[in-house]
Amino acid sequence: MSRIDVRKTYKLFIGGAFPRSESGYSYVVHDSKGAFVANAALASRKDARDAVVAARKAFGGWSSRTAYNRAQIVYRIAEVMEDRRPQFVDAVRQSEGLSAARAEKVLDEAIDRLVWYAGWADKITQVVGGANPVAGPFFNLSTPEPTGVVAVLAPQDSSLLGLVSVVAPAIVTGNTVVVVSSYARPLPAVTFSEVLATSDLPGGVVNILTGSAATVAPWLASHMDVNAIDLTGVAGDTELATSLEVAAADNLKRVRRAPAAEPDWSADPGTDAMTAFLETKTVWHPIGV
Amino acid sequence: MSSPFEYAPAPESRAIVDIKPSYGLFVNGEFVDGHGTSFKTISPSTEEVLSEVAEADDADVDLAVKAARRAHTRVWGRMPGRERAKYLYRIARIIQERGRELAVLESIDNGKPIKEARDVDVPTAAAHFFYYAGWADKLEYSGYGTTPLGVAGQVIPWNFPLLMLAWKIAPALACGNTVVLKPAETTPLTALLFAEICQQADLPPGVVNIVTGAGDTGRALVAHPDVDKVAFTGSTDVGRAIAKAVAGSSKKVTLELGGKAANIVFDDAPIDQAVEGIVTGIFFNQGHVCCAGSRLLVQESVADEVLERLKRRVSTLRVGDPLDKNTDIGAINSAEQLARITELSDLGEAEGAGRWSPACELPERGFWFPPTIFTNVTQAHRIAREEIFGPVLSVLTFRTPSEAVEKANNTPYGLSAGVWTDKGSLILHMANQLRAGVVWANTFNKFDPTSPFGGYKESGYGREGGRHGLEAYLKGASA
């Protein structure tokens, strides 16, 4: 008699824990050919709010860690991902319908991107900050600081490389995030959350909701304790993107606008994804005795 | 207590300024009649009508944007940076040459003391043009690319009319954009004088366009489909409306909005210097400053002493004729603003805070409000939460640095903050913890063109000044 395999229940990732959706809802995830793969948790408005609470709670500690330490932890995420290559390759193949070779390449890039961003933690300040030569006896420095809690709508197509490319730049600079994963391809995000949970990342720094951006994002966009929103995940949906921008205006959230189409994630990302969620603080002090 | 010092009046002559009975709009290098009605601009210190100013309607705004687009496509956008630079240097020089005239006009139209217009507004405006002139041919070193956005629609407030114009126009032009700027309806005159300066500098027609008017003109400008970039300084409410208006478009936006800054005084601070800083923080420019230190947080152990010395110092401030060189506090900019300050101050009293103002005689005509200090203020009081934008200080106390941080950050705003202490490590700790775009330690309300300025949270987004100020007007290195 053949062995019955043990199937997994896919859950949300909030505050470092793996709860089911408080709503009790789940939805069916298919592979690229339309076959049933699993039921994923369908995040609700309440889940989104819980995730924001967790992200806010984590912000003080995460943003005040040294850049060196944040770099170590983001690098650690890459290490743990490398360690779980086969699982990620399977997940990406299944979600995106890629060949094994292509899926390997996507995973390589996702891991390398994490390593790249890890290195930015203690360099972004030097690149975008600076000393200002004011016309007077003052010491005056401009330093970038994280914006706060960032809601991230992850790309719909690129389920892993795209996800890493929007999460890593936000957290490496000290923000905490609430991520809504790809609706149709949520499972690589769930696997990624299991990596995060074992990567020394403090609970709440990254919170991942599986479910529909169209349902959850309006609550995040209008949430008064969310400081910024990345609309990448609604690329091409001008109507939804516009309504989210309007909602975000209520507390003047920083908005990273939705692109017309999903970007090429294999291209050099530049620093924009980091600077979109940074503030510049300028500190003055008189010089004299 | 009346002032122990009596000064003879020392009025600045207004003979240097020639205010025309009426002004048109400045479009495509010329003053033109608008299609709309006109409105009057008055001197807030005397209520005297200074001039009639055209109110730009949608068609006027459209003409101005078209002129700006043409100038961008044909001339300014393709001009080498080193040539653009020379125009900006010319403008900076003319502002200096006509500095006295600009200062007197600013003082008359805005109500601010001549000494502030003369020593702060005008020289800092000139300095902004000098600073950004030098960037025009060095953009490849900025990190933001070298490609201008196109046409910038800019809306500025009435508190620093010329200086805000410089903050908006200088970086826009340096990056190769052309602009349509709307000055505030109560203070249009220095912008119109600036239009003459553009003519004197032989700036190509259409590079700078000035459309005067009120909210409707601003809305038309922000909503114009051929505007690539919106820059606004003003209230958070209007900023919110602008953010909504541009949602879904590709317009780049920067917003410089309200504030409710905490000015935090620790018990080891040099008290006399701190008192001067508190006075500068809230009474500079009649408190019409978005980054004004309107919430004084004093460590409990020195609160009585600080307050006593502060009241003594405030009693020596001279309120009155803005053109008098001895005047410290001028007129409130408009009847509307005076009504808001009065309403919120009365509310402060009604909610139980202790109100104090020095004995001071206010002129009979014009809009005046005495310097006012509220004690026994709690964080729940509306005077501690809402931006008053007038010479009104709320005093709260704290015991520990962490309590100071918590109270300081307990606001939806995040524009500026002040810290007063002798202890360097405490300054750096506070500077790290405060969620504000500018932190002044042992000083307050200092500005310089090389320094980025702008807010966290609901104080808006983007930075003006410094290298960072270029980002708002360039397409970005990766675009």
Catalytic residue set of B: 256
**CB < 8 Å from B in window 8-37 of A:** none
Chain B residue numbers with beta carbons less than 8 Å from the beta carbon of A127 are 143
Are residue B78 and residue B220 in the same domain, yes or no?
A: yes
Rounded (5°) CA angle A159-A163-A169: 165
Q: Which pLDDT value is given to residue B477?
A: 65
Are residue B314 and residue B403 in the same domain, yes or no?
A: yes
**CB < 8 Å from A in window 247-266 of B:** 247-248, 250, 255, 257
Q: At a CB cut-off of 8 Å and minimum separation 6, what does B438 contact?
A: A281, A282, A283, A284, B291, B415, B416, B417, B451, B453
Is the model more confident about B114 or about B478? B114
Are residue B52 and residue B129 in the same domain, yes or no?
A: yes
Tens of pLDDT, residues A27-64: 999 999 999 999 999 999 999 999 999 999 999 999 99
Q: Do A284 and B243 touch (CB under 8 A)?
A: no
Are residue B415 and residue B468 in the same domain, yes or no?
A: no
**Candidates A282, A285, A287, A289, partner chain B, best to mutate (most B CBs within 10 A):** A282
Are residue B368 and residue B467 in the same domain, yes or no?
A: no
Tens-of-pLDDT digits for all 289 residues of chain A? 899 999 999 999 999 999 999 999 999 999 999 999 999 999 999 999 999 999 999 999 999 999 999 999 999 999 999 999 999 999 999 999 999 999 999 999 999 999 999 999 999 999 999 999 999 999 999 999 999 999 999 999 999 999 999 999 999 999 999 999 999 999 999 999 999 999 999 999 999 999 999 999 999 999 999 999 999 999 999 999 999 999 999 999 999 999 999 999 999 999 999 999 999 999 999 999 7
The shortest CB-CB distance from A282 to any of B236, B412, B437 is to B437
Chain B residue numbers with beta carbons less than 8 Å from the beta carbon of A130 are 466-467
Tens of pLDDT, residues A101-146: 999 999 999 999 999 999 999 999 999 999 999 999 999 999 999 9
Q: Which pLDDT value is given to residue B6?
A: 75
Mean pLDDT, rounded, for B362-371: 96
Is the residue at B378 inside a domain?
yes
**Candidates B251, B451, B458, partner chain A, best to mutate (most A CBs within 10 A):** B451
Q: Do B432 and A227 touch (CB under 8 A)?
A: no
Q: Which pLDDT value is given to residue A1?
A: 81
pLDDT, averaged across chain B: 97
Mean pLDDT, rounded, for B89-115: 98
Mean pLDDT, rounded, for B268-294: 97
CA distance A1 to chain B (A): 59
Q: What is the CATH number of the domain that holds B429?
A: 3.40.309.10
Identity of the amino acid at A112 = D
Q: Is A267 on the interface with B (CB under 8 A)?
A: no
Mean pLDDT, rounded, for B96-108: 98
Is the residue at B449 inside a domain?
no
The shortest CB-CB distance from A130 to any of B432, B458, B467 is to B467
Domain map of chain A by residue range?
A: 26-286
Nearest to A84 by CA among A200, A162, A192: A192
**Phi, psi of B392, deg, nearest 5:** -125, 120
Are residue B235 and residue B378 in the same domain, yes or no?
A: no
Nearest to B162 by CA among B229, B230, B220, B105: B105
**Homologous superfamily assigned to A26-286:** Aldehyde Dehydrogenase; Chain A, domain 1 (3.40.605.10)
Range of the domain at B176: 22-257+459-475
Q: Which pLDDT value is given to residue B3?
A: 57
Q: Do B451 and A242 touch (CB under 8 A)?
A: no
Is the residue at B284 inside a domain?
yes
Q: Do A252 and B437 touch (CB under 8 A)?
A: no
Q: Do B443 and A281 touch (CB under 8 A)?
A: no
Q: Do A280 and B452 touch (CB under 8 A)?
A: yes
C-alpha dihedral sign at A115, A116, A121, A126: positive
Is the residue at B206 inside a domain?
yes
How much is the ipTM here?
A: 0.96
CA distance B342 to chain A (A): 27
The shortest CB-CB distance from A285 to any of B236, B240, B442 is to B442
Q: Do A281 and B446 touch (CB under 8 A)?
A: no
CA distance A38 to chain B (A): 35
Is the residue at B349 inside a domain?
yes
Neighbours of B251 (CB within 10 A): 20
Tell me how far apart the alpha carbons of residues B67 and B27 are, in angstroms, rounded to a whole number. Answer: 7
Is the residue at B5 inside a domain?
no
Tell me how far apart the alpha carbons of residues A257 and B85 are, in angstroms, rounded to a whole number. Answer: 32
Q: Do B439 and A284 touch (CB under 8 A)?
A: yes
Q: Which pLDDT value is given to residue B360?
A: 87
Q: What is the CATH number of the domain that holds B123?
A: 3.40.605.10
Are residue B468 and residue B424 in the same domain, yes or no?
A: no
pLDDT, averaged across chain A: 97
Tens of pLDDT, residues B61-88: 999 999 999 999 999 999 999 999 999 9
The token pair that represents A134 in the structure block: 């004011």
Neighbours of B132 (CB within 10 A): 28
Tell me how far apart the alpha carbons of residues B177 and B152 are, in angstroms, rounded to a whole number. Answer: 7
Mean pLDDT, rounded, for B177-184: 98
The shortest CB-CB distance from B466 to any of A142, A243, A248 is to A142
- Residue of chain B whose Cα is closest to the Cα of A278: B456
Are residue B271 and residue B230 in the same domain, yes or no?
A: no
**Candidates B406, B448, B470, partner chain A, best to mutate (most A CBs within 10 A):** B448
DSSP strand pairing (B30-32 vs A254-256): unpaired
DSSP annotation of A177 reads E
- Residue of chain A whose Cα is closest to the Cα of B144: A272
Are residue B312 and residue B246 in the same domain, yes or no?
A: no
Q: Is B233 on the interface with A (CB under 8 A)?
A: no
Q: Is B425 on the interface with A (CB under 8 A)?
A: no
Q: Do B476 and A272 touch (CB under 8 A)?
A: yes
Q: Which pLDDT value is given to residue B1?
A: 45
- Residue of chain A whose Cα is closest to the Cα of B462: A279
Q: At a CB cut-off of 8 Å and minimum separation 6, what does A19 contact?
A: A11, A12, A47
Q: Do A272 and B240 touch (CB under 8 A)?
A: no
Is the residue at B16 inside a domain?
no
Are residue B135 and residue B92 in the same domain, yes or no?
A: yes
Q: Which pLDDT value is given to residue B4?
A: 62
Mean pLDDT, rounded, for B295-303: 98
Q: Is A126 on the interface with B (CB under 8 A)?
A: no
Q: Residue B5's pLDDT band (boundaries 50, 70, 90)?
A: low
Q: At a CB cut-off of 8 Å and minimum separation 6, what does A219 contact?
A: A45, A48, A49
Q: Which pLDDT value is given to residue B7?
A: 80
Q: Do A282 and B451 touch (CB under 8 A)?
A: yes
**CB < 8 Å from A in window 119-178 of B:** 127, 143
Q: State the angle between helix axes of B122-135 and B161-174 in degrees (0 to 180), rounded to the nearest 10.
A: 10
The shortest CB-CB distance from B247 to any of A140, A242, A270 is to A242
Q: Is A129 on the interface with B (CB under 8 A)?
A: no
Tell me how far apart the alpha carbons of residues B291 and B414 are, in angstroms, rounded to a whole number. Answer: 9
Q: Do A281 and B436 touch (CB under 8 A)?
A: yes
Identity of the amino acid at A160 = L
Is the residue at B451 inside a domain?
no
CA distance A128 to chain B (A): 8
Chain B residue numbers with beta carbons less than 8 Å from the beta carbon of A147 are 456
Are residue B231 and residue B87 in the same domain, yes or no?
A: yes
Q: Which pLDDT value is given to residue A170?
A: 98
Are residue B417 and residue B437 in the same domain, yes or no?
A: yes
Tens of pLDDT, residues B210-258: 999 999 999 999 999 999 999 999 999 999 999 999 999 999 999 999 9
**Phi, psi of B225, deg, nearest 5:** -65, -20
DSSP annotation of B73 reads I
CA distance B439 to chain A (A): 5
The shortest CB-CB distance from A280 to any of B442, B450, B463 is to B463
Q: Do A282 and B453 touch (CB under 8 A)?
A: yes
Q: Is B431 on the interface with A (CB under 8 A)?
A: yes
Reduced to 3 DSSP states, what percent helix, strand and coil does chain B have, rounded to the nearest 5?
Answer: 40, 15, 40
Number of domains in chain B: 2
Size of interface A-B (CB pairs under 8 A): 114
